[in-house]
Amino acid sequence: MENVEFNALIAKAKNNDSYAIEILSKYCIEIMKKHLSILSGNEQEVEDWAHDVFAYRIYSNLPDYFIEKPAAWLNKVADNYVFTLMKKEKRTTPLIEEITDNRAFSDIVDEIMVKDALHKLKKIDYQILVLRYYFKFEYNHIAKIFRLNPATVRQRAFRARQILKNYVTF
């Protein structure tokens, strides 16, 4: 959903337009569920969090200002709500422990996106990328390992990077 559409829905929801409220709630809850699922493997808990955030933080306090990036805004509101809730419960998750270890939340999300994208690659392409970019092997050395032509290894690495670019957006 574009930011203009999102802000128009907010304006209509402020005027108690039931259709706009329904569309806004579905959109917000879906975005937040995707985001919050990295904090908990419990689907019901994630569903409850998303509904609570919409009801108690978004719908009850619809903003008067223009929201430039709706998804980012929703995710930030959801994070604040859930982290406060977990703090009150003195509860942590492995992800929250990593965040408190001075890792930026966006870095963790980026890492998850990259890992997910790497699973889309063929095993040999994944191995080529690891050897090339993690272990800093030259293409000629990788070619010897796999008994391939160096040009073939370069081409496979190029195509694997293209696949990753399609799945990972920063």
State the CATH architecture for 112-167: Orthogonal Bundle (1.10)
Whole-angstrom distance, CA of residue 52 vs CA of residue 55: 5
Nearest by Cα to 96 from 85, 83, 107:
83
Is the sign of the CA dihedral 81, 60, 76, 167 positive or negative?
positive
Mean pLDDT of the chain: 81
The distance of Cα 15 from the centroid of its chain, to the nearest Å, equals: 32
Tell me what the mean pLDDT of segment 141-168 comes to.
Answer: 89
Q: 161 or 116: which carries more pLDDT confidence? A: 161
Residue 88's identity, in one-letter code, is K
Q: According to the model, what pLDDT value does residue 151 have?
A: 96
Q: How confident is the model at residue 80 (pLDDT cuts 50, 70, 90)?
A: confident
Which of 60 and 94 is assigned the larger pLDDT?
A: 60
pLDDT tens digit string along 42-57?
788 888 888 988 888 8
Give the pLDDT of residue 149. Answer: 95
The predicted-structure confidence for 116-129, as pLDDT tens digits, reads as follows: 777 788 889 988 98
pLDDT band at 100 (very low <50, low <70, confident <90, very high): very low
DSSP annotation of 102: T
Provide mean pLDDT across the span 151-156. Answer: 96
Q: What's the half-sphere exposure (Cβ side, CA atoms, 13 Å) at 13?
A: 23
pLDDT bracket for residue 159 (50, 70, 90): very high
